[in-house]
Amino acid sequence: MCSATHSLAARRPTSASWICCTTIATTGPTGVSLRRCFRTFVGSVNWGSIGYSVGALLGALTAAPERRHILFVGDGSFQVTAQELSTILRHDHKPVIFLINNGGYTIERGYLGKTQAYNDIANWSYADLPKVFRRDTSARSFVVKTSKDLQDALSTPNDTMVFVESIMDPYDALAPITNSSNKGADLNYGPRGPQHRENLQLRPTT
Ligand SMILES: Cc1ncc(C[n+]2csc(CCOP(=O)(O)OP(=O)(O)O)c2C)c(N)n1
Ligand SMILES: [Mg+2]
């Protein structure tokens, strides 16, 4: 996903804004802050409120329709406010949306319930939603599983909405994310909490 961000930023270095859900890392593998690639960064960093970003995208599109808006959102976050995609399409806005489909609440698997069903969510056919919400949509949708798929999606013309559903492994998370969840569980449940039992937490790969 980081390569996608850099690639898009390179294509639109001065006018792009980046809207982000709460669990997307804002630092690339090289430690470079991706926020600097964009003119404006919008995120719910203080409140950590999932679902915020889809509504924020609509707000940013309404405020500055002439600019290019790029949303990165998790599947769990998206499902909270997905209906706003309908409003975005009704107003004929043309953002680029990257939706990370990793089968549910990956960041929560680092607290507790690595394999528990309460961290799984319904596996919507996300890339079909522009068509569901607007019959005559011109949106271009992609389901990407490999870097080649991603390159193909990034090569598409950007004169319409571009919706990229990225399929990722539920256990694929950066170490800073899992470390922070593991620490959060220690705070929540205390030193003798259930988080220390075998295989209950998603932990950083060593
Ligand atoms: C309104 C709200 N409800 C619940 C939470 C707790 N919470 C934090 S992250 C998260 C899961 C996010 O899932 P997703 O967007 O798919 O991100 P992933 O960790 O899978 O990348 C939840 C339920 C929250 N932060 N805000
Ligand atoms: Mg998810």
Q: What is the pLDDT of residues 136-182, one digit of tens each?
A: 999 999 999 999 999 999 999 989 999 999 999 999 999 999 999 99
pLDDT for 139: 98
How far, in Å, is the centroid of ligand 2 from the Cα of 134? Answer: 25
Atom of ligand 1 nearest to the CA of 22: 9
Q: Which ligand is nearest to the CA of 177?
A: 1
- Least confident range from 11-25, 93-107, 117-131, 163-177: namely 11-25
Task: Count other Cβ atoms within 10 Å, centred on residue 6.
Answer: 15
Pocket perturbation via mutation, ligand 1, pick of 44, 54, 77 by most ligand atoms within 8 A of CB: 77
Pocket perturbation via mutation, ligand 1, pick of 2, 21, 23, 118 by most ligand atoms within 8 A of CB: 23
CB-based contacts of 73, cutoff 8 Å, min separation 6: 20, 21, 24, 53, 54, 97, 98, 99, 100
Q: How large is the average pLDDT for residues 104-119?
A: 97
> Does residue 3 carry a pLDDT above 70?
no
Chain segment 92-101, per-residue pLDDT in tens: 999 999 999 9
Q: Which residues pair with 190 in a beta bridge?
A: none
> Does residue 62 carry a pLDDT above 80?
yes
Going from the N-terminus, what domains does the chain have, and what CATH number goes with each?
Answer: 2-196 (3.40.50.970)
CB-based contacts of 69, cutoff 8 Å, min separation 6: 16, 17, 19, 57, 60, 61, 93, 95, 96
